[in-house]
Amino acid sequence: MATTLKTLTDEEFVAPGRAGCNGCGAVIAARMATKVLGRNTLMANATGCMCVNYGYAGAPKFPFIHTLFENAAAIISGMDAGLRSLHKRDDVNLVVLAGDGGTTDIGLQALSGAVERGHRFLYICYDNEGYMNTGVQRSGATPYGAKTTTTPVGGDRLGEPRPLERRKDMVRLLAAHGIPYAATASIAHPLDYIRKVERAIAIDGSSYIHVLSPCSPGWGFAENMTIKIARLAVETHFFPIYEVEDGRWYRLTIKAERKKAVEEYLRLQGRFSHLFSERYRDEIARIQAEVDANWAYLKQLAALRAG
């Protein structure tokens, strides 16, 4: 029987005490996932925000390995192979928890190889769209126009210069590997998220979940607005929620009943505040057009399945 919010355990799988920021979206994402995964889990946690949370204070109540940025997927591959050789692979959940820097940039090669080899594990990327714990540098997931310490605003610079349409889409990238299951998720839609974790971990092969994790200090919003920001990302189609089976079959799992303008999402974040000056005003229309085009493309892919 699928987990519901009522049947989700009250047990916490992270010990009290942590070094994370108040309102951290990545902590919420990890907390929700571990409630589904339970104690019979082994986790490889790539260097990043959650490694600070888990490694410096508090700790998960299951075996945990702090890996380098680049090798989390390689280490989980070795754990899968080792457990199989010992005939102890059954009923053990192998999970990678990594940020977007360790996934879209530094760890991409290891992840690609692990999925190609068909190792059995769930890879969860908590995407806060930059290297936040080292001073808010841009990553391969940073959106167009966002201000970071390495994509500043001033002169002819308006923040991240790479168009949205060229931002690394990890779910589609892994779908191109033929991965059995890949999905996006949001902490503002917990039931959709936890059911995806539940489904992904049961697959006898590789699976991937990309969960948007708003970052209060890095994105420039009040720490009590994390869920509101995450919800707006979905309601504006800035961060579509969908899943892909066997690298081919797309399904939109959350559809905003009444789509909101992307401006509502951008306006609440300090990293986009410069876009509301007269000088950059046209850029918001450009972002809206790219968001709309991406949504239309996903709908076409989902229609192939429906047809």
Residues in the chain predicted with pLDDT less than 70, given as ranges, are: 1, 55-58, 306-307
pLDDT confidence of residue 247? 96
pLDDT confidence of residue 14? 78
pLDDT confidence of residue 306? 64
Percent of the chain at pLDDT exceeding 70: 98
pLDDT confidence of residue 307? 59
pLDDT confidence of residue 195? 96
3-class SS letters over the chain: CCCCCCCCCCCCCECCCCCCCCCCHHHHHHHHHHHHHCCCEEEEEECCHHHHHHHHCCCECCCEEEECCCCHHHHHHHHHHHHHHCCCCCCCEEEEEEEHHHHHHCCHHHHHHHHHHCCCEEEEEEECCCECCCCCECCCCCCCCCCCCCCCEECCEECCCCCHHHCCCHHHHHHCCCCCEEEEEECCCHHHHHHHHHHHHCCCCEEEEEEECCCHHHHCCCHHHHHHHHHHHHHCCCCCEEEEECCCEEEEEECCCCCCCHHHHHHCCHHHHHHHCHHHHHHHHHHHHHHHHHHHHHHHHHHHHHC
pLDDT confidence of residue 58? 67
177-228 pLDDT, tens digit each: 999 999 999 999 999 999 999 999 999 999 999 999 999 999 999 999 999 9
Q: What is the pTM of this model?
A: 0.96
